[in-house]
């Protein structure tokens, strides 16, 4: 079986980094956590955004019984 090389643009790599950094359960438990850590080390940490931070928006969710 021939292995195909795959190339990603810088923007695509950033999306992969962010997804791996924010990977949800079950990947952050047990054996999956070890594999996730190896992948995160291979691709690196997500690059931080430059510029103004996004504004925090307050929402009133009390009508949904969320306090």
Alpha carbon distance 29, 20 (integer Å) = 14
- pLDDT digit string (tens) for the chain, length 67 residues: 788 898 999 999 999 999 888 877 566 667 777 888 888 899 999 988 889 888 999 999 899 988 7
How far out from the chain centre does Cα 11 lie? 13
Instruction: Tell me the CA end-to-end span of the chain in Å, nearest whole number.
Output: 56
Alpha carbon distance 22, 42 (integer Å) = 15
pTM above 0.95, yes or no: no
45 neighbors 17 (Cβ within 8 angstroms): yes
């Amino acid at each position: 079986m021939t292995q195909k090389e795959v190339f990603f643009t810088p923007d695509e790599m950033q999306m992969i980094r962010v997804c791996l950094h924010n990977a949800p359960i079950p990947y952050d438990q047990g054996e999956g956590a070890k594999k996730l850590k190896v992948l995160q080390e291979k691709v690196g940490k997500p690059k931080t955004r430059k510029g103004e931070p996004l504004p925090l928006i307050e929402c009133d969710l009390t009508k949904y019984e969320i306090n």
